[in-house]
Structure 1
Amino acid sequence: MQSNTEQTLDEAPVQDAISGQSEQLRALSQDADSLFGDFVESVNNDGDANDTPSDSANIFPHQGDPAYGLQWTRDGDFLSLRPEWTVEPSVDSIISTLQKAIDPRKQYVVQHHWNGAYSRIYRVSYDGIQLILKVYLPVCPRTMTESEVATLRWVDQNTRLPVPKVHYYDSTRNNPIGFEWILMDRIDGTPLFECWRSTTQDAKERIVKQIAEYAAICFACQFNGGERASIRHYTKPFRTAFKWTKIRLRLISAELRLKLDEATEEDHRMILSGMLDLIDRLRGLRGKFFLPPGPFSDSEPSTYEDESTDEEDAETINEGDKPHEQTMLWHDDISLDNILVDENGVLQGVIGWSCVSCLPLYEACQFPAFLHQAWDRAVEPRTPYRVTRAYLENKEEILKYDVELRQHHLTLLRRVFIDEMMQRCPEWVDAFYRQRSRRDYEAAVQNCDNEFAYKIVEEWVDAVEGKSNFNKPVWSLHERFMR
């Protein structure tokens, strides 16, 4: 059985997926392989001469059905949908795919490891090599896979943050599994969440400094384009943040109006109407947080500006000769679950790169997820008597102490992070402090259509508009959502 493998990374989708390159990185090379490091074997690229329609038709049951294996389900929340697998990848199909991609003569051992929101993860071993295989639902065909490959290679090439190395991938479904997949290094380690208590504060500080170094490099290597690395449509340069928030609110509003037309229950219709009113109020507040474009500025649209077409949105986004927003790579889920350490608390790797974005600086210059908390606790909590005497029957008191102690330790680590960023990249720290209000507005846009959060956004909008009953300064919305 001949391996159907092309040993180059297709340049166009990778450059699209990484959301454009800064001039500093372009200077490295115009060649995709040198730009992203050593080559990765891409299986079943479109147009590959070795692909035959008859072979695909005989093997792949999803032919003619791009949504094969995927269904969307509601769990109580009438607004939100979650993806579900209707077809589970079989071990036999995975082995067949590996034989086709690598070597049919090798012996492969495949074990199911974990289920993610959009993927199934398997442990793979052969010839003493330990790897991880991620199999993707077709939630965002091609771009999610290509984005993760491109992002991992960029991070590996440009930073010292330990991340999995990609060996093979297939961003099509033309394989025996019937789904897109990536085969990458397995990082042995324990999630920091599981060993937080046993990991020393010094070890945690070392991890914080390593992640700060990564953040400083990302700030220095800014991109000239798109907000989401995993969404091909938005990879070209877009206008100012003022214009971009206008487009996003327009799209959210259009989707809510469709749901309003379909809603039959009165309480659902009231919620949707409230969200649409909230969007109109957010439109009116944009000028408080973002400067309108200069000579290219259009007149402010009416309340129903969301009626524009997708073509108009695309034209607005792709106006590369007009002012645009600088962006940087931003991993929004560097959480305790995605930080892997060894038994001594030494960082082994950071995982979870499938939905990483390129965000405007005002949004990306913030604490990594594992340092999020709504307020600081500067003073170490007093150890309860029952903890010191090992009387453990008062679990509520002990739990409260554990929570407060973690808040204090996170406060100390947040200071370490800011101090490290101040040494490595003072411009990042300046953006962190000066752009707080923009992050609040961003949090409002992200949550204005969230059934469980839009009321909090309404409270914040009341405060910004001066309608709050309390004579207090406007509180931070994005920090409120860190609780």
Structure 2
Amino acid sequence: MIISSASSTQELPYISIKWKNDEFDYFNPYPSWSCEPEAHEVVELLKEVASPLVEYHSSPRLPGAQTQSEVATMRWTNAKTRLPLPDVVQNLYSVSTNNPLGCEWILMSKVPGRPLFQCWRDMDLSRKRRVVEQLAEYTETIFNRGLDGIGCLYPAAADDPDQSPEFGGMEACMPYFWNKRYYKRPRCGPYETYREWAFDRLNLAYADAESLLPKLENIHIRKIPWRILAVITKLKGLHDVLFPSAEANKKKEGEEVPKGVKEDEHIDLDSDGDRNNNDGGKSEPEPFKCEEKTMMWHTNLSTDNIFVDDTGVITGILDWECISAIPRSVGCQLPAFLLEGHDRRQEPHIKDYWTFSDTLPDPQLDDDDGGGGERRGRPRQRQQRVGPTPDYWHARREWELTHLRLHFEMTMAARSLGWHMCYKHHALKRDFETAVQYCDDSILVGVVEAWISAVEAALKDKTKREKKGNEAGGEPMSRRLKVWSLERRIASGRKAPAGHN
């Protein structure tokens, strides 16, 4: 059995978390235990509350206002889907630090199999497709079991494991407790619209960047928070332009707004971008209307968190902390590991990536040379083929991921037309969500700036074309914005980027 623990983010008399920065790096704080739990303390606690006859191993995790939500999310997923995941053993977990260990903890069953990253090279493409198909089944199930509101699940009753989890709503995800944000905003959510959710996170990031300015004396370092502040301001202005509410659309068209209609309860065709369409932009997709439901999407489906057996059957999914119900418009996305790497359409050939050893004397060639072994004063030599270079495995992984991305999309198109339409029509909104996630990243803020500039240029060009079309009395221009994908640009160079959420 494995016990995973998460200390409380509150300043309690037991173990707490301190936030640290490396020297000269003010933008990437990381959590550190104020007092490292001792392994024997973990074992003593488990023997007291569980069984003295079982061998235990401990693994501390990130700080945890999210313990209750993690337990409820695992129970909900176990009840609503066929996805295998660890069990909370005998309902044993603690959301309090008032115990011998001094921190929050959850007792989970051990997941069989190996992480996908460990056996990736050993699995052929057919077994990897099997993994993707199982994730597609999970995706279809949670899409169809939509929720109302943006936020986290919590246990209906802490002492009753058989009672279904309830949608409590309060967010318990990284953007709300990272770098002491929990003390600034002790309660965030639930949210009714994507706009509320996005703007609240942008405000937290804005406050962090603003608080850094008085601490920085170096003029070059001070430019980073200024850039972050400017990016956040632009993102707030872009949201209402790119994704006008149903009410704003109706007012613009002079129609009455139906009662009960809220923001983001439609799919805005401007937020599409079927960027792989080959018809030259001539055809328009059929309008697709749906309520802005939410879904409990696992944002960190990386190869570290997916466990499989030798046949490619998923045996367990880990890391259920910081999972919340998010809008379908941004939740209809690929599993995180499928977003990695650049597109590679052609399969790499291993013969093009062989590496050779240093040249060695070849006795056979020496004998053929008359026994002297000399040719122009030097012995005949040969190179020994050792194996493929690391570049081959990198290229092959990119090719396989390109194939698996397409396989996942085709599988989902066959299983759930609603998911497929949301995925196709909300590409720009997923890019906007990516910008919200990485707007305060000191390394990636430049990429977000470039994407904002591209969107602003596309909007300006679209306005000109629409004006020219109206003056000429022709047909309305395409409503699509042609912008490169920020989601793919960042994901191609980072591992499991969605986990940042």
Q: Given the two structures, how large is their TM-score scaled by the length of structure 1?
A: 0.70
CA distance in 1, matches of 2:312, 2:129: 10
SS in 2 for 1:481: helix
Counterpart contact for 1:373–1:482, Cα < 8 Å: yes
Q: Report which stretch shifted further, 83-92 or 332-341.
A: 83-92
CA distance in 1, matches of 2:422, 2:13: 42
- CA gap of 1:389–1:110, structure 2 versus 1, over 3 A, is same
Q: Larger radius of gyration, structure 1 or 2?
A: 2
Match of 1:242 among 195, 201, 204: 195
Counterpart contact for 1:256–1:272, Cα < 8 Å: yes
Counterpart contact for 2:112–2:315, Cα < 8 Å: yes
> Aligned letter for 1:240?
T
> Aligned letter for 1:107?
L
SS in 2 for 1:359: strand
Counterpart contact for 2:353–2:392, Cα < 8 Å: no
Give the Å deviation of 1:385.
Answer: 4.2
Give the Å deviation of 1:74.
Answer: 1.2
Partner of 2:216: 263
CA distance in 2, matches of 1:461, 1:345: 40
- CA gap of 1:433–1:155, structure 2 versus 1, over 3 A, is same
Match of 1:78 among 12, 23, 26: 26
Partner of 2:55: 109
Partner of 2:96: 172
Counterpart contact for 1:145–1:354, Cα < 8 Å: yes
- CA gap of 1:78–1:64, structure 2 versus 1, over 3 A, is closer
Structure 2: segments with no counterpart, 5+ residues: 1-8, 154-169, 173-186, 251-259, 266-291, 358-382, 462-480, 493-501
Match of 1:351 among 318, 322, 328: 318
Give the Å deviation of 1:100.
Answer: 3.2
Counterpart contact for 2:149–2:193, Cα < 8 Å: no
- Give runs of aligned pairs for residues 460-475 of structure 1, distance below 5 A: 460-466=451-457, 473-475=482-484
- CA gap of 1:386–1:178, structure 2 versus 1, over 3 A, is closer
- CA gap of 1:244–1:90, structure 2 versus 1, over 3 A, is closer
> Aligned letter for 2:296?
L
**CA shift digits 1:58-79 (9 cap, x unpaired):** xxxx997357342111135311
- CA gap of 1:393–1:256, structure 2 versus 1, over 3 A, is farther
Identity across matched positions, percent: 34
Counterpart contact for 1:444–1:477, Cα < 8 Å: yes
- Give runs of aligned pairs for residues 190-269 of structure 1, distance below 5 A: 190-227=114-151, 231=171, 233-236=187-190, 238-269=191-222
SS in 1 for 2:214: helix
Give the Å deviation of 1:246.
Answer: 3.0
Match of 2:71 among 149, 169, 175: 149
- Give runs of aligned pairs for residues 350-429 of structure 1, distance below 5 A: 350-373=317-340, 375-385=342-352, 387=354, 398-429=389-420
Q: Report which stretch shifted further, 446-455 or 458-467.
A: 458-467
CA distance in 1, matches of 2:490, 2:83: 27
> Aligned letter for 2:406?
R
Match of 2:485 among 454, 471, 476: 476
Give the Å deviation of 1:473.
Answer: 4.7
Q: CA RMSD in A?
A: 3.3
**Count of equivalent residues:** 372
- The answer to whether residue 433 in structure 2 is matched with residue 442 in structure 1 is yes
Partner of 1:98: 46
Structure 1: segments with no counterpart, 5+ residues: 1-61, 113-120, 122-134, 298-319
Counterpart contact for 2:20–2:29, Cα < 8 Å: yes
Give the Å deviation of 1:289.
Answer: 2.3
Q: Given the two structures, how large is their TM-score scaled by the length of structure 2?
A: 0.67
CA distance in 2, matches of 1:343, 1:406: 19
